[in-house]
């Protein structure tokens, strides 16, 4: 895999878990920035800027988002592996999401400097 260009999105984000049958908090879609709402059989997960995070029984804040500059063709392979492997080797936990155009890595604020260093040491570029 060649160099991946990543953008560090501004501001803290939160990850929330709601009941599988909960109403999707569509009001967060009006927020500026990165928002993801995903429903599975077992849960409703919400990722959004912490400033607009709805109340939830389970929520974790303090995440930063690194977005790979896409779009990437669906036939490409190894993008997430090229990004996650150096983070794993550096002991940086991550929360990964993919969208139609690209991949997003979320790391805790306290691991951000180590994550950026690991990605850059692996040949990727992080733009703040």
Long-range contacts of 74-81, Cβ-Cβ distance < 8 Å, separation of 24 or more: 78/1, 79/1, 79/4, 79/103, 81/1
pTM of the model: 0.91
Q: What is the pLDDT of residues 10-19, one digit of tens each?
A: 999 999 999 9
The superfamily CATH assigns to domain 5-122 is VC0802-like (3.30.2130.10)
What digits encode the pLDDT tens for the residues 65-91?
A: 999 988 888 777 788 999 999 999 999
């Amino acid at each position: 895999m060649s160099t991946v260009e990543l953008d560090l999105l501004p501001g803290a984000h939160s990850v929330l878990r709601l009941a599988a049958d909960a109403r999707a908090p569509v009001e967060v879609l009006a927020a500026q920035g990165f928002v993801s709402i995903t429903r599975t059989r077992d849960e409703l997960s919400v990722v959004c800027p912490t400033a607009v995070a709805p109340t939830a029984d389970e929520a974790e804040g303090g995440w930063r988002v690194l977005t790979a500059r896409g779009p990437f063709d669906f036939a490409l392979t190894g993008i997430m592996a090229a990004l996650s492997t150096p983070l794993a080797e550096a002991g940086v936990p991550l929360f990964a999401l993919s969208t139609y155009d690209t991949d997003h890595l979320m790391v805790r604020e306290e691991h951000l400097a180590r994550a950026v260093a690991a990605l850059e040491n692996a040949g990727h570029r992080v733009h703040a």
